[in-house]
Amino acid sequence: MDWAGFGVDLHLELDATGGRRAGLERALRAAIRDGRLPPSTRLPATRALAAELGLARGTVSAAYDQLVAEGWLVARVGSGTEVSPLRQAPPPSPARPAGPATPRYDLRPGSPDVGAFPVTAWLRATRRALAVAPATAYGYGDPRGRPELRTALAGYLGRARGVLADPERIVVTTGYAQALVLLTTVLRRTGPPVLAMEDPGLPFHREVVRRQGGRVLPLPVDDRGARADLLGVGALADVAAAVVTPAHQYPTGVTLHPSRRHALTGWARDADALVVEDDYDGEFRYDRQPVGAVQGMAPEQVAYVGTAAKTLGPGLRLAWLVLPARLVEPVVEAKRHLDVQTEVVGQLALADLITTHGYDRQVRTVRRRYRQRRDLLLERLGGWAAVGGVSAGLHATVALPPDGPAEVEVLAEASARGLALAGLDAHRHHPGDGPPGLVVGYATAPAHRYRAALDVLADVLRTTGGRG
């Protein structure tokens, strides 16, 4: 019998001044008083604790008896000795500044409905994967990631997204942000890199590049997607890489036009530059078959980035890079020095989920749900508000009239009613440079609150006069 066998992890500093028994009593009182031994915690048997502390069993028994008499402990026949359930918890820690309150209704973009995570399928996949995983899987491994997952991804991406993927050229990362960090780090080898990033786009991603020493230039977006025809000329003459969302531009929701796809890959070939393809929600197209990845057109010019954040959940922290041959070793080296490798158990489970087609089933399931949510958004707002973007993804834009209330006023009114929204202006490289609007995430809210959230949004727009 040992201390750990009781589930108690407690460090006792014994001060033998006045005797060992008195020292043990003081140490136990202190542990109870400061909360390290909470009420109703079962203590080790006297024999076990005596062996752990190098004391006589009689000394420990006498200390327990004294603390029982004082009310610190309770001796229960057949159950051993416990901390008294009546002991008060330690005083609360000093209050910390309150963080942002959780909104009652959440229509912010960028997150799936995490309540749709396939818990049962994931548990089964994890059990199957761990049952056959070699012991070496739990040690240090290839920074590129587990071969099981890279092989599964190569097959899935080729089949579902038109990506030309060799397992040897796939690097598993801890999310999209880390993939962007790795690519910027590699581009920085010859000096501070200049990256063109879509305008509007996600401000956080621009900050990720800047913090890695990159310089960011705006790449305008119109109704045909990113203005790839501007790359290589004027202010964008010295760009080393262009970061784009071709399948479903974030946040405008447009798809990159075929002529722009050819312009993008042509520029990358001619300039020996890199296209970073962020395929964050490419599986979610509702009116037609999803458009294939740009990477399939020019695999040596495109670094493709996919993620499980939208199909499963961002909490998994699993994403993947499919790299041009020349970037594999530099990215692997950067990954090795960043965090050595991505966690393994999730990789093994995802590999099993993909190979058993559980991943496909999950994509189809949530695709239907998100299509229904988008249809409901159009039903509630589409009659009198301009809802933008193709029928795809997990978000849409809602235009605000140029002569109507300021975007910040609409957001403030929504916040006052417990509704969290995102403004289009905050996504611009230079706020104020474009028309006002909202970016509405129709996947974020739990299903049982989504309709109510849309009702609040509609009322906010009516109240503020923010009809597009």
The residue type of 467 is R
DSSP labels, 40-59: TPBPPPHHHHHHHHT--HHH
Q: Between 57-70 and 46-53, two packed helices, what is the crossing angle to 10 degrees?
A: 120
Q: Between 176-187 and 203-211, two packed helices, what is the crossing angle to 10 degrees?
A: 40
pLDDT of residue 10: 60
C-alpha of 123 from chain center: 20
Per-residue pLDDT tens digits of the chain, which is 468 residues long: 344 444 455 677 888 787 889 999 999 998 888 888 889 888 888 888 888 888 999 999 999 999 999 899 998 877 789 999 876 655 666 666 555 678 999 999 999 999 999 999 999 999 999 999 999 999 999 999 999 999 999 999 999 999 999 999 999 999 999 999 999 999 998 889 999 999 999 999 999 999 999 999 999 999 999 999 999 999 999 999 999 999 999 999 999 999 999 999 999 999 999 999 999 999 999 998 889 999 999 999 999 999 999 999 999 999 999 999 999 999 999 999 999 999 999 999 999 999 999 999 999 999 999 999 999 999 998 777 789 999 999 999 999 988 777 899 999 999 999 999 999 999 999 998 888 999 999 999 998 899 999 999 999 998 887 665
Starting at the earlier edge strand, list the strands of the sheet with 194-199: 170-173, 319-322, 302-307, 274-278, 241-244, 194-199, 215-222, 225-226
| Region of residue 465 (phi > 0: left; psi between -120 and 50: alpha; otherwise: beta) | left
CATH ID of 3-83, from 3.30.565.10, 3.30.1540.20, 3.40.50.2000, 1.10.10.10: 1.10.10.10
CA angle, residues 191, 216, 300, in degrees to nearest 5: 70
Q: Residue 446 has which token pair?
A: 């739990």
Q: Residue 371 has which token pair?
A: 């299509």
The residue type of 193 is P
Contact 280, 443 (CB under 8 A): no
Phi first, then psi, for residue 240 (nearest 5°) are: -90, -25
Just give the CATH number of 105-111+364-464: 3.90.1150.10
Query: Rounded distance, CA 337 to CA 56, Å?
Result: 51
pLDDT of residue 3: 41
Contact 214, 183 (CB under 8 A): no
pLDDT of residue 284: 95
Second CATH level (architecture) for the domain 117-359: 3-Layer(aba) Sandwich (3.40)
Characterize the bridge pairing of strands 274-278 and 225-226: unpaired
pLDDT of residue 290: 86
> SS3 of 255, please?
coil
Buried b (16+ CB within 10 A) or exposed e, 219-257: bebeebbbbbebbbeeebeebbbbbbbbbbbbbbbbbbb
- Beta bridge partners, 398, equal 387, 438
pLDDT of residue 1: 39
pLDDT of residue 467: 64
pTM of the model: 0.85
Query: Rounded distance, CA 61 to CA 39, Å?
Result: 20
Nearest to 157, CA basis, from 367, 390, 360: 360
In angstroms and rounded to an integer, the radius of gyration of the C-alpha atoms of the chain is 29
Q: How many alpha carbons fall within 13 Å on the CB side of residue 270?
A: 13
Query: Rounded distance, CA 336 to CA 8, Å?
Result: 37
Alpha-carbon torsion 363, 221, 314, 443, what sign?
A: negative
- Domain spans of the chain? 3-83, 105-111+364-464, 117-359
Q: Between 407-416 and 447-464, two packed helices, what is the crossing angle to 10 degrees?
A: 130
Beta-carbon count within 10 A of 299 CB: 21
CA angle, residues 179, 184, 185, in degrees to nearest 5: 95
> Which residue has tokens 């991406």?
157
pLDDT of residue 4: 44
Buried b (16+ CB within 10 A) or exposed e, 18-36: eebbbbbbbbbbebbeeeb
70 CB-contact burial (10 Å; exposed 0-12 / middle 13-18 / buried 19+): exposed
Contact 306, 172 (CB under 8 A): no
